């Protein structure tokens, strides 16, 4: 797997999700939901001046990654 995988949607194990969202350009991240597939955060996206929802998939889905490329 290439280190800079453009299809990577899962967070790295142990990394702080809020910090990752900040580095991706989102601000005011607040968890608003959690389920079997991951966590959902309400964030502000300053680049377009709007509130967005960001879903961060859990690492447990990694084994199902191949199905998205079929």
**Numbered residues of the known binding site for ATP:** 55
> Between vectors from CA 6 to CA 2 and to CA 23, what angle results, nearest 5°?
105
Task: Give binding residues as ranges.
Answer: 55
Say how many CA atoms lie within 13 Å of 14 toward its Cβ.
0
d(CA 40, CA 38): 7
């Amino acid at each position: 797997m290439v280190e800079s995988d453009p299809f990577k949607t899962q967070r790295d194990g142990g990394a702080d999700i809020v910090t990752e969202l900040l580095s991706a350009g989102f601000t005011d991240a607040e968890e608003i939901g959690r389920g079997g597939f991951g966590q959902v955060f309400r964030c502000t996206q300053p680049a377009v001046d709007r509130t967005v929802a960001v879903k961060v998939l859990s690492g447990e889905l990694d084994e199902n990654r191949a199905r998205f490329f079929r």
